[in-house]
Structure 1
Amino acid sequence: MKQYLVERPNGNVIVTILSNKSDHTYSYVNLTKGHICPCRFASEEEALHDMDQKIKSGEILRYILLN
């Protein structure tokens, strides 16, 4: 399981991207807060692209692959 440190203006979190068994989409799982994001992506790559867009919008500062 790949984990990412996501640096945000309001605090850092550890996030992973996991497959949803019900519909085979992917979602962010915030391991720091124990929260599953309701957003759905067709692939892990699409989820990472979404994080890249969040960097451009300023919602997050950056993300770093931890393992």
Structure 2
Amino acid sequence: MDVIKFLVTRPDDTVLVYLMKNKSDNTYSYVNITKWHICPCKFQSIQEAIKDMDKLLEEGKIVRYEFTN
């Protein structure tokens, strides 16, 4: 799977975020579709990226996230 979609609720808004595979180096990055922003962070695996999302949740930077179609 090369794309995973999330609905992310932050304290002030809700955004649609894709986790996409970079063809150039086979890492994964978040792409905020709502704001048309590519996060500069890169992850070696999908699991690593989801752990980062969990960390943001614990830090209160996001309120919740859910996988979506």
TM tier relative to shorter chain: over 0.9
SS of residue paired to 2:50: helix
Deviation string, structure 1 residues 7-52 (Cα, Å, up to 9, x no partner): 0002110001001111111000101111110000001111111000
Q: Unpaired segments of 5 or more residues in structure 2?
A: none
Number of aligned residues: 67
- Structure (1 or 2) with the greater strand fraction: 2
Matched, 1:24 2:26: yes
Summarize the alignment of residues 31-50 of structure 1 with structure 2, pairs less than 5 Å apart.
31-50=33-52
Q: Unpaired segments of 5 or more residues in structure 1?
A: none
Counterpart CA distance in 1 for 2:5 and 2:27 is: 18
The ranges of structure 1 where at least 4 consecutive aligned residues each deviate by more than 2 angstroms after the TM superposition are none
Give the structure-2-normalised TM-score.
0.90
Q: Considering only aligned residues, what root-mean-square deviation do their CA atoms show, in Å?
A: 0.9
Q: Which residue of 1 aligns with 2:60?
A: 58
8 Å contact kept, 2:4–2:20: no
